[in-house]
Amino acid sequence: MIQKTNLKDIVNLVDDLFLYKRVGTLNNHMLNVLQAENRTLDFHIHESSDEMFYCIEGEFDIEFEDGLTHMCEGDFIIIPKGTKHRPICKNLVKCLLIEVEGTLNNDNTGGTYKE
């Protein structure tokens, strides 16, 4: 039988900050949850893939060249490929990220992504 997944339950089981926990695969897209706090990543671009952030709990900002977008619980944003951006997490935030397999690497995750 196909099993359902509760994102809040799974992300709450992640013990370490910045640890990407894969919760599923959709076609060739990875679905990862993570917890982050007091972290600002470097600006980066995903050349060949859009990226989606869904805020499960907490608040954070995503900075673009033309300003900030504030994200709150329940918000999601799709960042088109080729768009320069960086997440800014001041307080604890729990997120779901959806992106094409192979998009995440040490450079665009601040060195915390492990396959």
The candidate with the shortest Cα–Cα distance to 14, out of 88, 93, 72, 70, is 93
pLDDT of 23 strictly over 60: yes
What is the residue-averaged pLDDT of the chain? 89
pTM over 0.95: no
37 within a domain of the structure (yes/no): yes
114 within a domain of the structure (yes/no): no
User: How do residues 92-110 score in pLDDT, each as one tens digit?
Assistant: 999 999 998 766 555 555 5
Instruction: Kindly state the average pLDDT of the residues 2-27.
Output: 92
What band does 111 get if pLDDT is binned at 50, 70 and 90? Answer: low
Domain of 23, in residue numbers: 7-100
89 within a domain of the structure (yes/no): yes
**Residue 103 in contact with residue 113, Cβ under 8 Å?**
no
pLDDT of 53 strictly over 60: yes
The CA distances from residue 58 to 36, 37, 66, 72, in Å, are 10, 10, 24, 6
Give the HSE-up count for residue 90: Cα atoms under 13 Å, Cβ half-sphere: 8
CATH, residue 96? 2.60.120.10
What band does 91 get if pLDDT is binned at 50, 70 and 90? Answer: very high
